[in-house]
Amino acid sequence: MSNVKLNNVQKAAVESFGKPVLIFAGAGSGKTRVLTHKIAYLIKNKLVDAENILALTFTNKAAEEMRQRVHKIIKTKSTLVTMGTFHSVCAKMLRSEIHNLGYTSEFSIFDVQDQTSLFKVLLEPMDFPKNYITPKDLRFKISYFKNRLINPGEAKSKASIIIDKHYAELYEKYQIALKENNAVDFDDLLLLPLQIFEKFPKVLESYQEKWKYILVDEYQDTNKPQFMLVKNLAKSHQQICVVGDDDQSIYGWRGADISNILDFEKTFKNSEIFKLETNYRSTSYILESAYSVVKNNHNRASKELVANNGGGEKLGLMQTNDEMEESDAVISALQKEIKLEKRNFSDFAVLYRTNSQSRAIEDAFRRSGIPYNIIGGVRFYERKEIKDLIGYLSLILNPKDTISLRRVVNFPPRGIGLKTVDKCVIEAEKRNVEMIEVLNSPENMGIRGKQADALDKFYNIISKYNDLLPKLNAGELVRALIEEAGIKKYYQESTSPEESERYENVLEFIKSVDDFMKRNPDGGLSQFIEEVSLLTDLDQWNDQNNRVTMMTVHASKGLEFPVVFLTGLEDGLFPLYRSLDSNETLEEERRLFYVGVTRAMHKVYLMYANNRRRMGSDDLYGIVSRFIGEIPEDNLEKISFTSALTRKVIGGKAGKHTKTAVSRTVVLFDDFQVGDYVEHAIFGIGKVMALSGQGENQRVGIEFKDGLKKKLVVKFANLKKVDSPD
């Protein structure tokens, strides 16, 4: 096998054999290349037979990529290597061995919905107060126990308060119920092999003999069960190679334990350590800046990446007044990059700390006609909690909308099941009236008690707010609705982290209504819903393959882009307020920042706002993230940004708890006609094919070169009329 593609350290790591191997692989240092070459080296040199090699990853995509790369290097026997995720390998193992624990090999693997259904059955006879323990709370808690190898008995003995005793009791009942159903959950796929290994040592010995060499990718992301699996399997032969980067350990909140990689030498004696410190992705400025931040962590291995690609550009530092201007600044910088550097949309990634930040950026992209993809989540206005709110508003605006009625009649949960809805449908058809009209007479359908009261209350809410439409502006109506309909109470009473994030999005939705009212002082609720619908429809015009990528920093791990925008860099947002309580959580936030910056190949834009409204609150005055203060000033280029809004600072210095007054400049807009030729900063010259409205509210449908079609809002698109190119 030729090693011409490997540098000296990579080659040494590949050829190391006979001792446990730890490879610290910094961002962009070629860890996948090393892993695949090592597998090929073991087979090619007959050190280990292909069928005796186990390679563990965290995603199916990573496993498949590794398999393809190995096959390219050594075509014969590569398919005999066991490659897969921890969960897939363990599931296969359990099909052969789970009979030792009293299950059959046909066991079911319960997903989240299956778990939730079972939790509801278990909770029903407990007679707890409403929302005392929800199925989602219980799923989160039990997963927490399992990721830390805490069995039901231990959970019971450690419980010191009443609610923890209830969690432990339900955990025990849950495990019994799973077994009765011949089922396991996702966490059990890792736990049950450990139980088998402990109770049946001969089974463990058989797998130690089968897998004589073990490789683990992204070792810094392993939790306690994964660590114990690897430790057990490698215990007899100590032939193990792990690859990871402690500086990219960012999943502590879901059980990952950074000590697994940092204490590798203690666990596996006489290990060889290799540090891949040549980065083939990013420029010197990017790497030096990222390192200057992460080196402030105390709990890390000593290493420093060196760029193979040279100096590059300084990191752009952009200060804006608020999140709306931040979004405009992203577009402005993106347009400049496209024009000057001839980049494509797919060259850009916009990263943020929390999903709720995506709304303002997404709205700006839509208004500007810029195509985008959201990774790791659905579009803001398509998220369940937002669709529920829009469902309420649509029904208030149009009581004939039975689709929206069906969606929200039992949200928040008010005991109105599908059978009750079916009765309403039949009664409406019988009386030849709209479905909404039968809700205030449940007795006619034989519905009584709590269900009747719930239907009547729901009808009164919709009727009341329909009457209030001319009296309240959109923002006032939405705020009042979420209170009276019980939406706010529903989310606030839940202790589930998932529901907490949903509520954060609800509050962000309120802010989107406020933003709309600022742009359209005379606009009402119907106009807002229309705009949301129109903006959503714009996605159908976009190129499927050439899009800006939007995602959380967590979701970006393992990816790379020529240009990265890292947004929301204020203390309290990045790092999050709750991370400031301990050094451990703050260090994980710092590693997360490191991951975000090192996704970039050529250019990084660091963005922060003086004022940012989060979660529907009044203005929060932003203090620039401490992480920016840890970057040498010489590595930063301050970039000024002037938005379409003229913002006058009142007293003090920017970024120092400064209030801003906002006044709009008067801009004259051309009224375009079908057949006009216009020029767009990104898309070039195109022909107006359709339009609606006038002045700044005019919307135009334009066909650009190569048949590219866009729907644009004139006041945001910065279009100018030009002569026909013919």
Long-range contacts of 114-118 (CB under 8 A, 24+ apart): 114/183, 115/139, 115/185, 118/174, 118/177, 118/178, 118/181
The pLDDT value given to residue 702: 86
The pLDDT value given to residue 76: 67
Per-residue buried b or exposed e for 437-473, using 16+ beta carbons within 10 Å of the residue's own CB:
ebbeebeebebeeebbebbbebbebbeebeeeeeebb
The whole-number average pLDDT for the span 320-342 is 90
CA distance 335 to 33: 35
387-432 tens-digit pLDDT:
888 889 888 887 877 677 878 888 888 888 777 877 887 888 788 8
The pLDDT value given to residue 665: 34
Q: Catalytic residue among 31, 367, 383, 626, which?
A: 31
Does the pLDDT at position 668 exceed 60? no
Q: Catalytic residue among 173, 353, 547, 599, which?
A: 599
The pLDDT value given to residue 693: 62
CA distance 26 to 294: 12
- Of residues 543 and 172, more confidence is placed in 172
The string of DSSP letters for 638-671 reads EE----SEEEEE-SS-TTSS--EEEEEPP---PP
Does the pLDDT at position 657 exceed 70? no
Q: Catalytic residue among 11, 15, 32, 660, which?
A: 32
- 115 tagged catalytic: no
Question: In the chain, count of helices (H) and strands (E)?
Answer: 28, 26
- 694 tagged catalytic: no
- 383 tagged catalytic: no
217-251 tens-digit pLDDT:
999 999 999 999 999 999 999 999 999 999 888 88
CA distance 423 to 446: 9
- In this prediction, what percent of the chain has a pLDDT beyond 90? 38
The pLDDT value given to residue 150: 95
- 31 tagged catalytic: yes
Do β-strands 372-374 and 548-552 pair in parallel, antiparallel, or remain unpaired? Answer: parallel
Q: What is the SS3 assignment for 385?
A: helix
The pLDDT value given to residue 316: 94
307 DSSP β-pair partners: 279
88-128 tens-digit pLDDT:
889 889 888 999 999 877 777 777 757 887 888 889 888 88
The whole-number average pLDDT for the span 251-276 is 90
Does the pLDDT at position 667 exceed 70? no
CA distance 284 to 281: 10
For all residues of the chain together, what is the average pLDDT?
Answer: 84
- 32 tagged catalytic: yes
449-489 tens-digit pLDDT:
888 888 888 888 888 989 888 888 888 898 999 999 888 88
The pLDDT value given to residue 78: 66
701 DSSP β-pair partners: 690, 711
pLDDT band at 347 (very low <50, low <70, confident <90, very high): very high
- Within 134-277, residue ranges assigned H as helices are 135-147, 152-158, 162-180, 188-199, 201-210, 224-234, 259-262, 264-267
Structure token digits, residue 383:
């998220």
Does the pLDDT at position 649 exceed 50? no
Task: Give 3-state DSSP helix, strand, coil % of the chain, rounded to 5.
Answer: 50, 15, 30
The pLDDT value given to residue 452: 84
77-86 tens-digit pLDDT:
667 889 888 8
pLDDT band at 656 (very low <50, low <70, confident <90, very high): very low
- Within 263-417, residue ranges assigned H as helices are 264-267, 284-294, 323-341, 358-368, 384-397, 402-408
Does the pLDDT at position 381 exceed 90? no
The pLDDT value given to residue 498: 73
pLDDT band at 361 (very low <50, low <70, confident <90, very high): very high
pLDDT band at 651 (very low <50, low <70, confident <90, very high): very low
The pLDDT value given to residue 444: 79
Q: Catalytic residue among 137, 217, 531, 676, which?
A: 217
52-72 tens-digit pLDDT:
999 998 877 777 788 888 888
Does the pLDDT at position 659 exceed 60? no
Q: Catalytic residue among 175, 248, 320, 549, which?
A: 248
**Phi, psi angles (nearest 5°) of residue 185:** -105, 180
Q: What are the C-alpha distances in Å from 453 to residues 185, 328, 456, 463, 662?
A: 38, 48, 5, 15, 47
Please name the amino acid found at residue 298. Answer: H
The whole-number average pLDDT for the span 499-528 is 82
**Phi, psi angles (nearest 5°) of residue 242:** -115, 145
pLDDT band at 607 (very low <50, low <70, confident <90, very high): very high
pLDDT band at 530 (very low <50, low <70, confident <90, very high): low
CA distance 256 to 148: 10
- In this prediction, what percent of the chain has a pLDDT beyond 70? 89
The whole-number average pLDDT for the span 660-675 is 50
Residues 6+ apart with CB under 8 A from 550: 349, 350, 352, 358, 361, 362, 365, 372, 373, 374, 375
- 599 tagged catalytic: yes
614-636 tens-digit pLDDT:
554 545 556 899 999 999 999 99
pTM over 0.85: no
Q: What is the SS3 assignment for 689?
A: strand
- Of residues 448 and 531, more confidence is placed in 448
Q: Catalytic residue among 185, 187, 218, 504, which?
A: 218
| Highest averaged pLDDT of the listed ranges 82-86, 366-370, 440-444, 597-601 | 597-601
Does the pLDDT at position 309 exceed 60? yes
The pLDDT value given to residue 653: 38
Does the pLDDT at position 183 exceed 60? yes
